Structure 1
């Protein structure tokens, strides 16, 4: 729960920005004027919120290395199904944001239109979706770092639901708000069975016998 709260400053600032085009369609022009008037300040605050999120999550991961033992660590690429899904969805959403932003500009006089920028960010994520990731499993949860980046994603233990191993992929299902499981291609992993056993012991611990 604590790591999820780190994202709160970013969400609180981005929500009013992304609400502008939709409220403008409903005729709420006063809200748009207020947001556009504070546009520079909101951008600065959003960047500060993102930096705060990255620093706090990375510091949390560093503290885990100091306090807890590593249960398992592996490097793997997403499996083919996951890469195709993320790329297809990313390009679809990104292009939709570009087209929607252009249509909104022609239909409504917008002082601020965040949709094209958001679409570009989504497409960028889709392009890099096939990069390998390093996974580190602790008692508290799972740390994920994408190659060629310095920031981590932390999935608390309470969000890990189940683990499944097949010949071609390792799937780790998560709770809300994550709709998709973590999927690793086993051909890019070392000792996938050992990793699966460590995950299974954490996600589905054996009950103690009294």
Structure 2
């Protein structure tokens, strides 16, 4: 959907969702909007979530567009190394993995006719399963729904057994007795202290 200043938010508002928009600018080689989220409940291994909406027009230089996108995402990753990144949009002829090879693409079905144009990348493997959804309004692209499939780090970690020694009953009083009957004068603490510090 091509958004301009003449399209009000109410025209694209979906019930129960918040609208974040960036109007089309044909002069740019890549258009993207980034939203930083910090939900009330967030898995411990993530500090924040970044959602990046992307449009790379079919007529632009894909290398140039990906380079610009790479710069913006890398800067965010450096500032937030424990963040979850979701990059979704219409990539047309561009492949984000060519500049960000550690990102994983989750869409494996056609999103416009027989073409896979609308893709969803994350920096976490197997984090989501993508499912097709109906077209919104007059769009010729179907919608894509990401279903969480991520298993928490704590649930993926193997159980570790640790042996912890505890003081047996009466050990504390036996140790105190030892301190009481020790001849502390036989230790010249001042001599040892000066030897160590010098």
With normalisation by structure 2, the TM-score equals: 0.25
* Greater fraction strand: 2
The answer to which structure, 1 or 2, has the higher relative contact order (CA under 8 A, 6+ apart) is 1
Larger Rg: 2
* Greater fraction helix: 1
